[in-house]
Amino acid sequence: MSEIVWLLGEKGLIAVIGLMFFLFCYKYSTGIFEWIEKQTLGTRSYIMEKFELLFIEVKEQHITYVLLLLSVGLGFITLAIMGVLGHWMLGAFLAGILSFIGFKIPKPIVNYLYKKRIKQYSGQMVDALTLLANGLRAGLSVPQAIGMIVDEMPPPVSQEFNLILQQNKIGVTLEECFEGLAKRVPTEDNDMFVTSVNILRETGGNLAETFDTIVSVIRERVRLQLKIEQLTASGMFQGLVIAAMPYAIGFLYFLSEPESMIRMFQHPVGLIIMFVAVCLDAVGLFIILKIVDIK
């Protein structure tokens, strides 16, 4: 009799939990579906937008295949390999982690490439504006001076200014072209350059002298940024070393006592401890990188 009551109580508890979960999903269904779309199709759209800014042509279906390969494919391969070796629980643990990392890693990589391109553009701004000012002093128009930048300067600044020329040839005004440049490359130096060009074209003024002033400001700002990067480089390196130390120590333990490390991944408590440790290590690394990232 007591066993029947216990079973009914257990089933009732499961039913209550299931009902609460259903009501929660029903109430926040719109937000849940939006989150799912953002994590799936939204990721692909985000990568496509960044690739357009990077002047990289790729098909959407290819991005879909890569995302599936990095997430589901990587997890399945890991699970299959560990299953053949007889470590199913460890394989499931590693497959889940690698699938999550594989699905999340494309965004940071694309953001890194985009930030690297912006940094290259900022580094080329001084030479580009100097060349633009010299062209204007020589009597060239703004489109002709921009053409000099396209011919003489390397990417990415030549690609951005070439897009301005192409848009201007199909009827887009230079003011709108420069505003598009400010949106594609959202830096303070670029905003200052675009704003000065648009204002002086409307009100009149000496563009060459204005560009010389902007060049001096950008040069000092780049010098200050390089000094900040030198001061924060040691902190970033220390953060990476601290984050990598647990994995290095675990690998050394595995080489010296492989049975004890394997037992850690074969017990549910060990898997929970490892999962919590990995999450805390990732959070610590994220905080350190945010601290040393000085705007």
pLDDT in tens, the chain (295 residues): 445 444 445 556 566 666 676 676 666 666 655 555 565 556 788 888 888 888 888 888 888 888 888 888 888 888 888 777 777 777 787 888 888 888 888 888 999 999 999 989 988 888 888 888 888 888 888 888 889 999 988 989 999 999 999 998 888 888 898 899 989 998 888 888 888 888 887 777 777 888 888 888 888 888 888 888 777 777 788 888 888 888 888 888 878 887 777 777 777 787 788 888 888 888 888 888 788 777 6
Whether the Cβ atoms of residue 222 and residue 230 lie closer than 8 Å to each other = no
Cα–Cα dist 94/30, whole Å:
32
- Its CATH architecture, for the domain 114-228, is Up-down Bundle (1.20)
Quote the radius of gyration of the chain (alpha carbons, Å): 28
Cα–Cα dist 124/175, whole Å:
21
Indicate the DSSP class of residue 103. H
Domain boundaries, the chain: 53-104, 114-228
Whether the Cβ atoms of residue 145 and residue 136 lie closer than 8 Å to each other = yes
pTM assigned to the model? 0.72
Which residues neighbour 143 within 8 Å (Cβ) at sequence distance 6 or greater? 165, 168, 174
